Structure 1
Amino acid sequence: MPALVFDCDGVLADTERDGHLPAFNATFEEFGLPVRWSDAEYAQKVKVGGGKERMRTLLTPEFVAAAGLPADPAALEEQVAAWHRRKTEIYTGIIRSGDIPPRPGVRRVAEQAHAAGWTLAVASTSAEVSVRSVLELAMGPELATHFGVFAGDLVQRKKPAPDIYAVTVRRLDLDPARVVAIEDSRNGMLSALGAGLACAVTTSAYTEEEDFTGARLVVTSLGDPPPQETVTSVLSDPLGVRPGPWMELADLAALLPDGGDPTASGPSGAGPPDLAPPGPPPPSH
């Protein structure tokens, strides 16, 4: 069967501006760190894959001295890990408050895919607890149980490396040629393409101006019909799918060589190569 694999942040919900950014800044305040990221600064930080990696961008010699942080690398890494644990707690609290709505169409299209027998998954470089909180918010607790969750701590290399998608494909025994990935960023798109997947892009708050050459469809959102109507705008449609005012599963199926035909053959055996075993815990949101 075909598969539909969602990224998390920016795809299931527009969580970067209203979730991750305030969680980072609240963490910095709690730990007495002399920094608060502005919206413009964070627009650049999101290009760095992983929350710990974003925090490590602070660690210039000047910042370490000004914040009274330890100079010993191991002790400094322990401090970053403590910041990140607290940031994840704050972030998941924001998500569970329900203040950030799911993006238009994600639950509707996932329900269509589930009803049609498609495999569903999330492949994200965020921490697993964060991914699961957003997944349940976006899909509801019942539909969320039908998703495979493949989060950042499964791989050493972050997007744009293809590793997280390659792991998803391998563990679910999928044929890459029958998988549609939905991403919102260039790094995510490159990750999906590197794993041999078709990629549709729904642009988000920080990614509207990025280069999505290689995506098979680029839209502003999946959209929804009335009564919660959100009309999607098509930004790039190289295959000539020509979706309507809101996306349907058939539009995404049209991105696959077989059109999402459920009777097509299964895995081809030519999926992504096996990856090296994971190393130390990698950075994550």
Structure 2
Amino acid sequence: MRTVPALIFDCDGVLADTERDGHLPAFNRTFAEFGLPARWSDAEYARRVKVGGGKERMKTLLTPEFVAEAGLPDDPAALDAEVAKWHRRKTEIYTGIIASGAIRLRPGVRRVAEEAADAGWVLAVASTSAEPSVRGVLDLAVGKALALRFGVFAGDIVAHKKPAPDIYELTVSSLGLGPADAVVVEDSRNGMLAALAAGLGCAVTTSTYTAEEDFTGASLVVSSLGDPPPDETVTEVRADPLGLRPEPYVRLADLAALLGEGGVRGRS
């Protein structure tokens, strides 16, 4: 019996351009509400975003000097509880931003997801973001009806976040598939490394903060999945080691060619 393949999307930067216009203002509004002496600039957030997970990003603030200035507890458990409280509020602010429709969707996501659904593929999202945030973006990106077809694997359901392979290993095993039966669409080096370490084929659609990252190991690197007219967005191919030539936009057949290509090119 032929195994049904799976198409797995990362969320932030892949489904929508969420980092600059969603997560960054949500973090800063949270810091202001809690009276914390922190405001991240765009340039600073470009560095922080390389840390997977919202709570983990917040914890990068917790130098001894910051803890003292903010009047935070020294006890690690109490400090973790404070960070969890900040993160819950940040998620509320972020989901409100998503619901407002202020986030730009990435080209081609809905088109390719619909093509995969019509072809009988399994659909999933695997992300280190909080599940409510992921579901809000997914509904916006593909529509509520198609979103119901997706498995959502998000947040603190694994011990280690990207670039560790945990979230992708959990996703594939939960779907009852092997690594050769799934292809991932990512936007960051950390996400790509996670996919490759899990043995999955990986396409990269670069986003606001990731365009200059090293994507050696990906089987395809493009500016976006692209779209035909009337919403025409032409795909710029940045790396194409398999010779797929997916211009003017990426189709499901191009992603299907990545099945079984994981965990090889990126390891040296």
TM-score normalised by L of structure 1: 0.89
Give the structure 2 partner of residue 53 of structure 1: 56
Among residues 31, 43, 47, which one is paired with 2:46 in the alignment?
43
Instruction: Give me the identity figure in percent.
Output: 76
Quick one: distance in 1 between partners of 2:151 and 2:258? 22
Shift of 1:132: 0.6
Quick one: distance in 2 between partners of 1:67 and 1:2? 50
Would you say how many aligned residue pairs link Structure 1 and Structure 2?
Answer: 258
Q: Does 1:228 align with 2:245?
A: no
Q: Deviations over 1:95-152 (max 9, x none)?
A: 0111112110000000000000111000111111111111101010000000000112
Runs of 4+, deviation exceeding 4 Å: none
Give the structure 1 partner of residue 213 of structure 2: 210
Among residues 179, 182, 185, which one is paired with 1:179 in the alignment?
182
Q: Deviations over 1:229-281 (max 9, x none)?
A: 111100000000001211111111122259xxxxxxxxxxxxxxxxxxxxxxx
**Does the CA-based 8 Å contact 1:64-1:71 persist in structure 2?**
yes
Give the structure 2 partner of residue 275 of structure 1: none
Q: Which has the higher contact order (CA 8 A, sep 6+)?
A: 1
Quick one: distance in 1 between partners of 2:184 and 2:258? 10
**Does the CA-based 8 Å contact 2:205-2:222 persist in structure 1?**
yes
Give the structure 1 partner of residue 149 of structure 2: 146
**Does the CA-based 8 Å contact 1:186-1:212 persist in structure 2?**
yes
Give the structure 2 partner of residue 162 of structure 1: 165
Give the structure 2 partner of residue 19 of structure 1: 22
**Does the CA-based 8 Å contact 2:219-2:242 persist in structure 1?**
yes
Correspondences of 1:73-152 after superposition (within 5 Å): 73-152=76-155
TM-score normalised by L of structure 2: 0.94
Q: In the alignment, residue 163 of structure 2 is paired with which amino acid?
A: P
Shift of 1:176: 1.1
Unaligned runs of 5+ in 1: 259-285
C-alpha RMSD of matched pairs (Å): 1.0
Quick one: distance in 2 between partners of 1:194 and 1:74? 32
